Structure 1
Amino acid sequence: MSIIPMRHARICEKVRSSIDIIEIGTPMIIEYGMSAVRAFRKAFPEKEILADAKIMDAGEYEAEQCFAAREFSNRLMHLGLTAYFVGEPTTPSIGAGDLLVIGSGSGTTASLAVNAKKAKAAGAKLATLTI
């Protein structure tokens, strides 16, 4: 398990006999994907695991991550560089010689990994930032 799920696993371990259900919340699923659910299933096979994949209660967390990335893109434009934000309707397809900058806390976010693979396949360079 990665660092954050391990911290949560230690908390669950301390109260193991008192809990019936372990919820893997949206922010953890967004950050670590289903590997977090599998890790908790392996560590706590006798417990029910609830994978809460709705986004309505994690909106602030997700918005903060998105705004930070968007602000970075804007700063690049302010510096006179041509920069686009993935997901905007005016963003062109990535191509050879382009640079995709990915910000991630875990380095394992599934959607970011897909974008990275597409960029490399198109001949683009890839840079990662820890956020």
Structure 2
Amino acid sequence: MNQKSSVVQILKSVPRALTSDTFTGIENIFATSDNDDITGTAGNNTIVGRSGADRINGGSGDDIIQGGLGRDLLTGGRGNDRIDGGSDTNDYAFFSGNQDQYNISTTAGGVTTVEWIGPGSGDGTDTLTGIEFLGFDDGFFYV
């Protein structure tokens, strides 16, 4: 059985009253319209949160993360990630170091690039759209 299609079927059959479940070895996930808490793997994940106030951590691969509608708390982790908070105005992207360990630039079109320049491998370079706030170890910053 194709693992990706079996995941879709499992998620479609999960009752709404279920509060917690664990799936392992999954690279791509399309979540519910509820408030989802999702952590990716070391692989290159695609994680789509849809609506709801989601908490998504991509793990250490080169991930694609989409928060959708709702106040989303998004972390790319290690790797070069693409993070999209959605069209609303209250989404956060989190990073593992202090703000001065990153090079941050924003284009006129609203695309923000956050590049790790601190010691070691760090978080890589993330490309952000639809993100209003950046969270670092030393505080939050409005984009």
Taking structure 2 as the reference length, the TM-score comes to 0.22
Instruction: Answer with 1 or 2: which has the greater Rg.
Output: 1
Relative to total residues, which structure has the larger strand share, 1 or 2?
A: 2
Could you say which structure has the greater relative contact order, defined with CA pairs below 8 angstroms and 6 or more residues apart? Answer: 1
Taking structure 1 as the reference length, the TM-score comes to 0.24
